[in-house]
Amino acid sequence: MMGRSVARACRRIGVAAALCIMTAGAVLAAADAGSPTARLPGYGPRTFGDRPSVAQMTAIGERLFVEQALSASGRVSCASCHSPQHAFAAPNARPAQPGGARLASAGRRNPPSLMYLQTTLPFTEHYIDDEDGHGIDAGPTGGFTWDGRVNTLHEQSLIPLFAPHEMANRDARQLARQLQRSPVAADFRRAFSEADKDVFDQPEEVVRWVGAALEVYQQDPATFYPYTSKFDAVMRGQAQFDAAQARGLVLFNDPNKGNCAACHPSGRRSDGGLPAFTDSGYGALGVPRNALLLANRNPRYFDMGLCGPERTDLTDKREYCGFFKVPSLRNVAQHRVFFHNGRFTSLRQVLDFYATRDTDPGRWYPRDAHGRVTRYDDLPPDLRANVNAEVPFEPLPQGKRRLNEAEIDDLLAFLRTLNDGFAVKRTQTGQHSGSCTDQCR
Ligand code: HEC
Ligand code: HEC
């Protein structure tokens, strides 16, 4: 509870969030000592005089993020899976990225974007927001990864650093040794060593500082939450949507058409903040099974999100099986691959799926031996009832779809306004006029 109120207070103060979140993290790491992922007892890097400053940590974090020496193979960095050219999501259309000590292991999930995560609250099974949610229990909310199993960015970084199928370090000593031989070593030592000591003599400390530097870097507003999209310019009264974009927003919000805003809110938050296009909740969309994922060659393997197998503390909550985190839609048009299992490789496919999953299921799911379509085939049969059946999935009377092709075009036009990189210019008359880099339109 205390962790959440710290994070909420932090959310309000915006830019100074980096250190604020770290404080919240320290509180949580202590409170959550029993959680399966709390592997940093007593987390809370110290300071040495005026070292390290936020600027120093951001700069080192940025270098660590692209540093392949952080992996056992020497060939994988955070950026290998979270590409800065693709809004820190996957660099290519593969459903998962390779990793492991010899780069021979296949991932099981699509790397999510790392942008606009700064308001992420710690995971809770029962989220009650008095301001925006009128005191109603919104269910599982918050946390990092597709299943919310970690609460802070420094804990999160431990997963890839030590996962055998990702960066595959055996232990802190291996990581420290490799880092010590990398070009970042000198600056790392200078920033994070106690007077007359060498941080590299304490591998556990090295891991803590790696996590802290990556965390502070990922909280850097200019890189991770710049709010420079056309959508933001419109919200600030500095630009106007064209006709297709405006129609797209109406469809996005309309509870009988896209109903997207029900899970990806598009309005200002009650504290005045611009929206992240996620309510930080969880949902089961019945995304089709992805045969390209190696793990799925085993017909008995099911990635069920909140109820496991990656997450292990909610396995008895069968009502959560199939639930994955609602991602932010900011910069989503820059992604190459979509959904937790990377099943789709274009945004249009995603929208076609929302529009026709339940009106034309044969388009998305395989047929069984009797020729019947196996809906929601990425869940065991007895759990398929968990899949969300509300609008936009719910067919209109006579089984008609809610969104036609022209409306999908409009939704796509609107979603592209969520790309950062729209430059607002002031004309001589004092009016605003916008222009776009190739990224944003
Ligand atoms: C081999 C690919 C790979 C590498 C390398 C990798 N990640 Fe990830 N990352 C993923 C995948 C896949 C997920 C989703 C994991 C899940 O849901 O279990 C993820 C999730 C995350 C998340 C959670 C995002 C969210 O929306 O909750 C963060 C933060 C993150 N990674 C940061 C990092 C950092 C920092 C590094 C470097 C230390 C890194 N990642 C290295 C693949 C990778
Ligand atoms: C019931 C809640 C809900 C509604 C309504 C909803 N979404 Fe989603 N959305 C989700 C969840 C949950 C995911 C992640 C699902 C997964 O990966 O299994 C998601 C994922 C996405 C993604 C993929 C993003 C990525 O990074 O992979 C896009 C794009 C998207 N939604 C757009 C929309 C649009 C457009 C609409 C309206 C037509 C919409 N959503 C309606 C909950 C919802």
Residue 389 Cα to ligand 2 middle (Å):
13
pTM over 0.75: yes
Q: Encode pLDDT of 203-223 as tens digits.
A: 999 999 999 999 999 999 999
* pLDDT at 435 exceeding the cut of 80: no
Fold of the 2-223 domain? Cytochrome Bc1 Complex; Chain D, domain 2 (1.10.760)
**Residue boundaries of the structural domains of the chain:** 2-223, 242-416
From 264, 289, 403, mutation site for ligand 2 pocket: most ligand atoms within 8 A of C-beta:
264
Q: What is the mean pLDDT of residues 368-392?
A: 97
Residue 327 Cα to ligand 2 middle (Å):
7
Strands 422-426 and 432-436, how do they pair?
antiparallel
The protein residue with its alpha carbon nearest to ligand 1, atom 6, reads: 78
Indicate whether residue 37 lines ligand 1 (CB < 6 A).
no
Q: Encode pLDDT of 320-353 as tens digits.
A: 999 999 999 999 999 999 999 999 999 999 999 9
Residue 428 Cα to ligand 1 middle (Å):
46
pLDDT of residue 42: 55
Give the residue with greater pLDDT, 1 vs 403: 403
pLDDT of residue 232: 98
Residue 185 Cα to ligand 2 middle (Å):
41
pLDDT of residue 44: 66
Percent of all residues in the chain with a pLDDT value above 70, rounded to a whole number:
85
Per-chain mean pLDDT for the chain: 88
Work out the pLDDT band at 135, boundaries 50, 70, 90: confident
- Closest listed ligand to the CA of 148: 1
pLDDT of residue 290: 98
Indicate whether residue 52 lines ligand 1 (CB < 6 A).
no
Indicate whether residue 144 lines ligand 1 (CB < 6 A).
yes
Indicate whether residue 100 lines ligand 1 (CB < 6 A).
no
pLDDT of residue 217: 98
d(CA 179, CA 156): 19
pLDDT of residue 248: 98
* pLDDT at 384 exceeding the cut of 60: yes
CB 53: neighbour CB atoms within 10 A?
12
The protein residue with its alpha carbon nearest to ligand 2, atom 36, reads: 260
pLDDT of residue 340: 98
* pLDDT at 102 exceeding the cut of 70: yes
Q: Encode pLDDT of 353-371 as tens digits.
A: 999 999 999 999 999 999 9
The binding-site residues of ligand 2, defined as CB within 6 angstroms of any ligand atom, are 258-260, 262-264, 283, 285, 287, 324, 326-327, 329, 332, 335, 338-340, 347, 350-351, 354, 388, 392, 411
Q: Encode pLDDT of 169-194 as tens digits.
A: 999 999 999 999 999 999 999 999 99
The protein residue with its alpha carbon nearest to ligand 1, atom 16, reads: 145
From 66, 75, 145, mutation site for ligand 1 pocket: most ligand atoms within 8 A of C-beta:
145
The protein residue with its alpha carbon nearest to ligand 1, atom 20, reads: 145
CATH 2.60.120.10 fits 242-416, yes or no: no
- Closest listed ligand to the CA of 278: 2
- Closest listed ligand to the CA of 290: 2
* pLDDT at 433 exceeding the cut of 70: no
- Closest listed ligand to the CA of 308: 1
Q: Encode pLDDT of 29-70 as tens digits.
A: 333 333 333 455 457 678 888 899 999 999 999 999 999 999
Q: Encode pLDDT of 267-319 as tens digits.
A: 998 888 999 999 999 999 999 999 999 999 999 999 999 999 999 999 999 99
